[in-house]
Amino acid sequence: MLVLIVALAGAALSILRLEQAGVGLVTSTMQIGDTPVSVTALPDATDAPVVVIAHGFAGSRQLMLGFAQTLAQAGYIVANYDLQGHGRNAVPMSGDVASVDGTTRLLVEELDRVIDAALALDGADGRLALLGHSMASDIIVRQAIADDRVDAVVAVSMFSTEVTAELPANLLVINGAWEGALAAEALRVLRLTDPDANFDQTLGDPAAGTGRRAVLAPSVEHVGVLYAPTSMVETRDWLNAVFERPSGTPIAARGGWIALLIVSVTALAWPLARLARPLRAKTPPKRLPRGAFWAATLVPTILTPLVLLPFDIGFLPVLVADYLAVHFALFGLITLGFLARWGALRWDATGVILALPIAIFCIGIFGAMLDIYVASFFAVDARIWIILAIAAGAVPFMLADAYLTEAGRAPLWRVLVVRANALVSLGIATALDMEGLFFLLLILPIILLFFVLFGTLGGWAGRATHRPLAAGIGLGVFLGWALGMTFPLFAV
């Protein structure tokens, strides 16, 4: 009861503080062709510059909400949109992802359409800034160089070959201090203008169109930079310097509250899992002998990427998700084969039934929180069968995890070995086919976060019930849903 009360209090406080960041703002949605756009501004915003915000690969509008609220509070009209294939944009990405004249050109054309509509909004004064993260940083840089309507650019975690010593005008580059190569690239770009320049140094005059600056947000990486207070302050102050507007308006400091909300909602699963204790199996899952355990973990880790290497797997309209589904399925089935050989599998009808509330909690409660405050999580129609296909692979994968970790009862070292090997196997696959599976590297942190949060949740459910099928099936369905919503739609 104490954990339940504390978790509910943490969730309520987090939601309250996250909602306070948007107090006084008006947000509306519109469709520009097939592109969904959120427009955020003060209710009396007039003669205001427009800021168009574009998220990165596998992102959505929700990820960029901190920037949208910060800039809207400063008096800007902000248009924040889902790129093709992402979030609630049902039009898939297309073209050659490796060619500037392929996918990149189509995304630039989409951005141009959003700009046209945003500049026509009531209250817009014709001035324009662009903000983009990661993949979108290249899109906005290319647009800014080609479009003389653009007065300023904020590139977060930027990588673009188009930047020169002068273009785009009024460029601010923001990186997380832990971004390594991208942070070094930001400094290289700054030194195109002045070879002696360094971070936190403003070159030129933003009000005159000659400004350039690069900053590092402390103690954050590629995603954390989107929530860092430094990112919000630097963006607001840079655009205010460009458009000669007063500063000092509030920023949306969302990162800490989102972290607390995630922890609080996850913690709710602990007291809920204890409600299932009357349904606990009489005997706990079988523990494999040490030699059998190592065989069941190492063989699928190495064998799965080698078996799949010769095959061109491409049956889903999403980048690399079809490979991931097959990899999960084969990895899980090989492991389950070892478990069956040593008599560690058992049929459990009650465990199958208990999988349902686990899936409902993860998708319905945790997913709703994600969809509102973090990233798009509820599927457009085109994604339903993609989710089902990935879940078909994710369920045996998570069943293998649940049995090897003995439904949360295994020693910690075994749990770490099981989950590390799952990531290592995907790393081996990527190394063997870097060109075809490069985008898997962007998904690995999501799978790691999944293990940290939902591996813990599955352990609570498993220790309460001694039923690996419950956590294995429930979390497998949830993993399929989460990845089905994360991967961008892609049409060849």
pLDDT in tens, 265-321: 999 999 999 999 999 999 999 999 999 999 999 999 999 999 999 998 888 888 788
Checking if the pLDDT of 487 tops 90, the result is: no
Q: Rounded to the nearest 5°, which phi and psi values hold at 36?
A: -80, 135
* pLDDT tens profile 192-219: 999 999 999 999 999 999 999 999 999 9
Last residue of a domain, one of 253, 284, 304: 253
pTM: 0.92
Helix 290-308 vs helix 412-432: crossing angle, to nearest 10: 20
Does 164 fall in a domain? yes
Does 278 fall in a domain? yes
* pLDDT tens profile 142-170: 999 999 999 999 999 999 999 999 999 99
Last residue of a domain, one of 228, 253, 278: 253
User: d(Cα 144, Cα 138) in Å, to the nearest integer?
Assistant: 10
Radius of gyration in angstroms for the set of CA atoms belonging to the chain, rounded to a whole number: 24
Sheet holding 124-133, edge to edge: 26-32, 35-41, 77-81, 48-54, 124-133, 150-156, 171-176, 212-217
Helix 321-341 vs helix 468-486: crossing angle, to nearest 10: 170
Average pLDDT, the chain: 94
CB 406 within 8 A of CB 462: yes
Residue 197 CB partners (closer than 8 Å, separation 6+):
187, 190, 191, 203, 214
Does 93 fall in a domain? yes
Count structural domains, the chain. 2
Checking if the pLDDT of 441 tops 90, the result is: no
Does 11 fall in a domain? no
Mean pLDDT along residues 380-406:
93
Q: How far is CA 56 from CA 84, 87, 271, 307, 317, in A?
A: 11, 11, 37, 32, 19
Mean pLDDT along residues 477-485:
93
* pLDDT tens profile 331-377: 999 999 999 999 999 889 999 999 999 999 999 999 999 999 999 99
pLDDT tier at 492, thresholds 50, 70, 90 = low
Checking if the pLDDT of 445 tops 90, the result is: no
Residues 244 and 153 in one domain: yes
Last residue of a domain, one of 225, 253, 281: 253
Which DSSP category does 83 fall into? Answer: P
Which DSSP category does 489 fall into? Answer: B
Checking if the pLDDT of 397 tops 80, the result is: yes
Q: Which domain holds residue 78?
A: 24-253
Checking if the pLDDT of 429 tops 70, the result is: yes
